[in-house]
């Protein structure tokens, strides 16, 4: 049964990724057709064509490698500008790049037939180009918003209303010591054990501060080493007050959100701070959220994803060490489609701790697809070719040049030659291929573990 559930979880992710890619490309195709651009091909995947069918002037199909998709529009790049002599002698290296750029121009124009001269992409108005190229990423954002909104409003999210004692560490051990070793008489009891805290105690307040969640426990305990703290707990329906004096110990460093901070190699960073020897768990319930909560949730997801993308160079160092050494994978780092599929299988088969029941697993699978769409939205906005953001930058620069020319009453400077950025696109493509291959390898030999 576990194997069947794992396969179903992987298939759920595969279908979710496929639909997300298909709708991303629809986001490009629909506005392009509305603005009159001829689009000969709409393809999901790369490599050999597995299936295709022509409807009107566009061929729709599936290709063998399902790692993306594309809409081919005629005339993506403008022809050479006046004064650009292709026979002019240039250094060999420059000449090779120029030849590649010229080939790209030729390919973008080779399907232009008589009567199609005004249906080329490069002749669109600048704002139309921006809409066409933003259509794909925006479609991913819409998918993510619908999925996140559906979960928040239809099912709800767990809302913390307090904290309880999940477990109590009986004795103090140095950082890195074997936590499974039984305590002896020579070991010093932890402040929590000494004070008499018991698993299941609901923590009402610490040091006179009301506890509204697990993060509140750390906020009070960590800076209070050596200071006696009154702790009010609720046990079997009655409140009682205990006194706990935190000691100084090496604990994981936390960021402002309460998440552990890791180094570039994924190793958790530690700090000397207050410690009582207790693990807390949240107390609360699943509550449906109003529609007003959806934009904030989507915005937080976008901000967190953007933060990860900005840290990709540093994260890739840790991934390399984990893939070819003994380092651990950072659970907050990037993963490949293979990794996403593997996580989907583990969620469906119940291998992730804390996910009990079919409903919670399905909700987690849905949020996994939503997170993937957020990542596609943010990643495609990077202002470099061949990503959508690179074409958007070209269109915006074109609008700025033409606007400045109108204000200063100068001649129209013409279309921005995005083709000149193709050397950057080729270099970026190589980087993406190498990164993708490394991530896939790491997700196979040293996968990210949830729960």
pLDDT over threshold 70, residue 254: no
Count CB-CB contacts under 10 A for residue 51: 9
The secondary element (H helix, E strand) that includes residue 428 is helix 422-445
Beta strand extents in 194-257 (DSSP E only): 202-206, 209-210, 229-235, 238-244, 247-252
Residue 449 confidence (pLDDT)? 75
Catalytic residue among 25, 346, 365, 398: 25
List pLDDT tens digits, range 263-287.
Answer: 655 566 777 788 888 888 888 888 8
Pick 16 or 336 by higher pLDDT: 16
The C-alpha atoms of residue 195 and residue 112 are separated, in whole angstroms, by 81
List pLDDT tens digits, range 185-208.
Answer: 778 888 999 899 999 999 999 988
Domain parsing of the chain, residue ranges: 124-156+290-451, 158-287
Residue 178 confidence (pLDDT)? 66
Count CB-CB contacts under 10 A for residue 280: 21
Task: Please answer whether residues 104 and 419 qualify as being in contact, where contact means their C-beta atoms are separated by less than 8 angstroms.
Answer: yes
pLDDT over threshold 50, residue 86: no
The secondary element (H helix, E strand) that includes residue 324 is helix 312-324
List pLDDT tens digits, range 288-322.
Answer: 999 999 999 999 999 988 888 877 887 788 888 88
Q: What is the 3-state secondary structure (H, E, C) of 64-118?
A: EEEEEEEEECCCCCCCCCCCCCCCCCCCHHHHHHHHHHHHHHHHHHCCCCCCCCC
The C-alpha atoms of residue 192 and residue 176 are separated, in whole angstroms, by 20
Q: Which of 274, 268, 276 is nearest to 252 (CA)?
A: 268
Give the residue carrying structure tokens 């000149």: 420
The single-letter DSSP state of residue 410 is P
25 given a catalytic annotation: yes
CATH class of 158-287: mainly beta
Residue 23 confidence (pLDDT)? 95
pTM above 0.85, yes or no: no
The C-alpha atoms of residue 30 and residue 390 are separated, in whole angstroms, by 20
Task: Please answer whether residues 169 and 278 qualify as being in contact, where contact means their C-beta atoms are separated by less than 8 angstroms.
Answer: yes
pLDDT over threshold 80, residue 176: no
The average pLDDT across 394-404 equals: 92
Task: Please answer whether residues 315 and 335 qualify as being in contact, where contact means their C-beta atoms are separated by less than 8 angstroms.
Answer: no
pLDDT over threshold 90, residue 144: yes
Residue 55 confidence (pLDDT)? 92
Strand, coil or helix: what is 231? strand
């Amino acid at each position: 049964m576990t194997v069947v559930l794992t396969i179903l979880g992987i298939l759920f992710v595969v279908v979710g990724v496929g639909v997300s890619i298909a709708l991303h490309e629809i986001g490009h195709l629909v506005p392009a057709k509305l603005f009159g651009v001829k689009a000969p091909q709409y393809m999901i995947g790369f490599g050999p064509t597995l299936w295709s069918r022509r409807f009107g002037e566009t061929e729709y199909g599936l290709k063998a490698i399902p790692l993306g998709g594309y809409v081919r529009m005629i005339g993506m790049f403008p022809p050479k500008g006046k004064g650009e002599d292709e026979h002019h002698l240039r250094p060999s290296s420059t000449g090779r790049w120029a030849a590649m750029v010229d080939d790209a121009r030729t390919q973008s124009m080779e399907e232009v037939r008589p009567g199609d001269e005004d249906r080329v992409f490069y002749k669109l108005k600048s704002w139309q180009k921006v809409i066409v190229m933003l259509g794909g990423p925006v479609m991913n954002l819409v998918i993510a918003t619908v999925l996140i909104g559906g979960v928040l409003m239809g099912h709800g999210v767990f809302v913390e209303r307090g904290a309880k004692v999940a477990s109590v560490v009986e004795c103090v051990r140095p950082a890195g010591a074997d936590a499974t070793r039984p305590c002896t008489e020579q070991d010093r009891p932890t402040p929590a054990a000494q004070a008499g805290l018991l698993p299941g105690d609901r923590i009402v307040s610490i040091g006179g501060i009301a506890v509204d969640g697990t993060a509140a426990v750390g906020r009070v305990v960590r800076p209070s080493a050596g200071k006696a703290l009154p702790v009010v707990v609720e046990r079997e329906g009655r409140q009682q007050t205990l006194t706990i004096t935190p000691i100084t110990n090496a604990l994981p460093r936390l960021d402002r959100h309460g998440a552990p901070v890791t180094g570039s190699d994924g190793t958790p960073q530690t700090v000397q701070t207050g410690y009582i020897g207790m693990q807390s768990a949240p107390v609360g319930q699943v509550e449906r959220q109003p529609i007003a909560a959806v934009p904030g949730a989507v915005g937080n997801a976008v901000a967190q994803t953007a933060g990860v993308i900005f840290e990709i160079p540093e994260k890739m160092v840790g991934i390399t060490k984990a893939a070819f050494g003994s380092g651990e994978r950072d659970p907050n780092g990037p993963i490949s489609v293979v990794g996403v599929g593997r996580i989907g299988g583990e969620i469906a088969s119940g291998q992730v701790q804390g996910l009990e029941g079919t409903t919670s697993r399905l909700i987690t699978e849905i949020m996994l697809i939503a997170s993937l769409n957020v990542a596609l939205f943010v990643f495609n906005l990077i202002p470099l070719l061949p990503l959508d953001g690179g074409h958007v930058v070209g269109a915006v620069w074109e609008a700025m040049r033409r606007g400045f020319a109108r204000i200063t009453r100068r001649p129209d400077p013409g279309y921005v030659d995005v083709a000149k950025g193709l050397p950057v696109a080729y270099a970026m493509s190589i980087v993406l291929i190498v990164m993708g291959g490394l991530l896939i390898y790491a997700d196979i030999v040293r996968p990210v573990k949830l729960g």
